[in-house]
Amino acid sequence: MEKTIWPGSTQLAPSPVVLVGTGDGRRFPWNLLTVAWAGTLSSDPPIVGIGVRPSRFSYRALKELRCFTVNLPTAAMAETVDFCGVASGADTDKFAVRKLTAVKASKIVAPLVAECPLSLECAVRQVVSLGSHDLFLGEVIAVQVTSDLIDDKGHLDLEKANLLAYAHGHYYSLGKELGHFGFSVRKK
Ligand SMILES: Cc1cc2nc3c(=O)[nH]c(=O)nc-3n(C[C@H](O)[C@H](O)[C@H](O)COP(=O)(O)O)c2cc1C
């Protein structure tokens, strides 16, 4: 198949799109920013990375408090996610405007979003300057999950959560499940 060659650019898709919670509610207000440059980078210890531009209002809180939350939004929250990615905590209380409930995390000072089914509490272990963005590597030190997503066997049923995804400037809900880890080699 013929291919067109472009210069290097940010084409990886789909990506998660998450609400990152920052601040301590004292020196730095509790705030949210939308982040699509996010991913799991290590299992043990569990590390997530988020790419944040130093010009963001949230940046100082991230750098000084060395913690953040990663809140996974549902498809129904797409408009809220977009809003948190265009409005700034410098002049807007995004929790109030979008009627979101800020919840105290169990181990860090940054806030969780109650309306998100899954939230990760992260302690910053490293900050790497990459160019336009700084990579914040956060160890996930606690996870909060809505109890009704956990079945009787203690397994998380994420399909029920109807999570949001992002690809090249557009928001999507996840489609139907096509298989599970290792299903290609599992005996039928
Ligand atoms: C879909 C989407 C994805 C975004 N991803 C990122 C990102 O990965 N890193 C980043 O620094 N900003 C990203 N932004 C922009 C910030 O969320 C935006 O500048 C926000 O207003 C910053 O909030 P703050 O000023 O309260 O810190 C994204 C915005 C949108 C709408």
pLDDT of residue 173: 96
Our answer on whether the CB atom of 58 is closer than 6 Å to any ligand 1 atom is: yes
Joined together, the tokens standing for residue 95 give 């929790």
Distance, in Å, from the CA atom of 141 to the CA atom of 126, rounded to the nearest integer, reads 15
Question: What is the distance in A from the centroid of ligand 1 to the CA of 74?
Answer: 18
Do 148 and 157 contact (CB within 8 A), yes or no? Answer: no
The finding on whether 77 has its CB within 6 A of some atom of ligand 1 is no
Determine the distance separating the centroid of ligand 1 and the alpha carbon of 35, expressed in angstroms.
Answer: 5
Distances, alpha carbon 70 to alpha carbons 2, 33, 153, in Å: 40, 10, 26
pLDDT at 187: 78
Centroid of ligand 1 to alpha carbon of 175 (angstroms): 25
SS3 152: coil
Q: pLDDT tens digits, the chain, 188 residues: what are they? A: 999 999 999 999 999 999 999 999 999 999 999 999 999 999 999 999 999 999 999 999 999 999 999 999 999 999 999 999 999 999 999 999 999 999 999 999 999 999 999 999 999 999 999 999 999 999 999 999 999 999 999 999 989 999 999 999 999 999 889 999 999 998 77
Task: Centre a 10 Å sphere on the Cβ of residue 73 and count the other Cβ atoms it contains.
Answer: 25
What pLDDT score was predicted for residue 188? Answer: 72
Burial of 17 (0-12, 13-18, 19+ CB in 10 A): buried
Class in CATH terms, 15-146+156-173:
mainly beta
pLDDT confidence of residue 175: 85
Instruction: List the domain boundaries for the chain.
Output: 15-146+156-173
